[in-house]
Structure 1
């Protein structure tokens, strides 16, 4: 019983990246972003971190980031783009980067859903960095469609909802360890984000 209480106390003290009130991602853990605006979600997180960002994507990817489009959210000069030739090297590269603890945000753009064992290894790598170096890197995997990777700390779906009057997005927290599913309409990115509760929910299978 004592060990259980100590573990829960440790989890409550874990630092959080909070790009807006109510949107919190535990550091030194692996999270997932999906949906057609998942790149926007990743850039929004990058806006709220300091230092370099490693962006890992297969070298056959058809949708590399456009520096001109990135500048609204973040200085492209902060990014190091890594393009492994083989799919199995994507998560290996992410794991090694998280373990080193030198980069506050590590993003991997995946062509499919990872298995549970690699996800667990990524959690361990990020937590090892926190324990051994004092750094708290955040890992984010970008997955197709509505995502569904097993074992992630949280899963977020983001989609465009722009109109003639404003730039807007719908953001849905599909999974979190301690929070329920919730949807928001998001405006004012990235400088002055405003969130309004949204009734529609993403259909999951």
Structure 2
């Protein structure tokens, strides 16, 4: 009776996915699509942009009435880093995002969408972000800004940012990691200090608007 042949092949360890560090112990996986919701979701997008280098593409439908203002952008990044794309048709919005991610031309693509997308388009966006790496560059990051409490299927992580209610303590926000493929839900306080944004623990007295 012949004995079983020894196994010589071993599975190679998977290399860790590249990440964008927003603050110590808070990172976003690159080459994936994430979601931000809440009344201050655009501020969260700007906080992410502050941690990147190079141009940022901001995609929103042509009929949208909410537009970024240079004075509001300036505390975060130079307004000159932003390139605005405004598709005329609803069906062109995510197609535009997919093409930009696949090109790998910019490190961050933000899309401000009026309603939640379906799972299949999100899968296409994740694939485009994963493969859209320019030579010598890190994979791009896609960020969906969704209305209400969000809930886009298939995203790598979902975040909510809302202004915190404090008296005389300056600009502060309540940041919540609602879900993530790699980390548990968690809450933080974000405060502005000397033009930068610091992350700290959320106290029991914190509230949000």
Question: TM-score by structure 2 length?
Answer: 0.87
The structure 1 segments of at least 4 consecutive aligned residues displaced by more than 2 Å after TM superposition are: 3-6, 130-135, 162-165, 197-202
Distance 1:180 1:152 in 2: 15
SS of aligned partner of 1:39? helix
Residue number in structure 2 paired with 1:9:
14
The one of 182, 188, 191 aligned to 1:184:
188
Instruction: Specify the SS of the correspondent of 2:28.
Output: strand
State the number of aligned residues: 197
**Structure 1 residues not aligned, in runs of 5+:** none
- Answering whether residue 171 of structure 2 is matched by residue 167 of structure 1, we say yes
SS, match of residue 133 in structure 2: helix
Query: Cα gap change, 1:73/1:140 in structure 2, threshold over 3 Å: closer, same or farther?
Result: same
Q: Matched residues in 1 for 2:205 and 2:62: separation?
A: 36
Q: Distance in 2 between matches of 1:185 and 1:34?
A: 16
Retained in 2: the 8 A contact 1:30–1:140?
yes
Shift of 1:170: 0.2
1:78–1:4 Cα change, 3 Å:
farther
- Map Cα deviations across residues 83-103 of structure 1 (whole Å, 9 max, x no partner): 001111110000000000010
In 1, Cα distance between equivalents of 2:206 and 2:173: 13
CA contact (8 A) 1:102 1:135 kept: no
CA RMSD of aligned residues (A): 2.4
